A and B are shown apart, each in its own frame.
Chain A
């Protein structure tokens, strides 16, 4: 089976401001089992030091019925802010390419079906020092609706001109 996906299903939650790393709520989340997806900074969150996108897998291999956790963070500049109309999470594409079965699955981190139409003239660029960012935490199995059969996957996450390296994970 081959999945061809361009548009995703909207996750339940919207973007939320980050909480301080190592906060009580973040630690409690880790201890109690995190609910996916969410858009908070958590202890496992990566921290890009310049515009770009970084992700960390919760493990290299995930047991059956265990969430395949992906922790991500992004920072973008004014040019990308204009390009994505301030909706960066809707531009973050998570793509998994199976190695042991014929499946490719891709989904935006967040979809918003009712975004306003693109204005005929782009808004002015913000200050060159403009930076904005956020976090996302997903269960890859659930978010990408990966099939319930064992396979190894390659994973790439992109946001406009920014992309991660190609990572590997396995679903048992």
Chain B
């Protein structure tokens, strides 16, 4: 997720979750799941101020959250 400040110059970005000890990516991709209806999902809930380590000064921000080819629209929020 990426927050772009509107009232000061700055951009803050952080993955939802980091796992430093993930196994190396295998040279060949795993096969696609057989079932075309395959879906997988999850939830996440964050304090943006804390997660992105946003500065302790008022500003409005745009935020975009992406996951590979998927992305949200640009949303707006303000920290007072």
A residues lining the B interface (CB < 8 Å)? 2-7, 83-84, 90-91, 93, 95, 97, 99-100, 102, 104, 106, 108, 154, 156, 158, 160-161, 163, 166
Contacts and interface: CB of A to CB of B under 8 A. Distances in A.
Interface residues of B, number: 19
A132 to B, nearest CB: 17
Given A4-B14, A102-B15, A104-B13, A156 B64 contact: yes
Most A CB atoms within 10 A — which of B9, B14, B62, B69?
Answer: B9
Given A97-B66, A99-B68, A99-B69, A160 B7 contact: yes
A93 B11 contact: yes
Contact of A166 (B7, B13, B74): B74
Given A106-B2, A156-B4, A93 B14 contact: no
Nearest to B10: A6
A106 B13 contact: yes
A93 B13 contact: no
Nearest to B2: A104
A2 B68 CA distance: 13
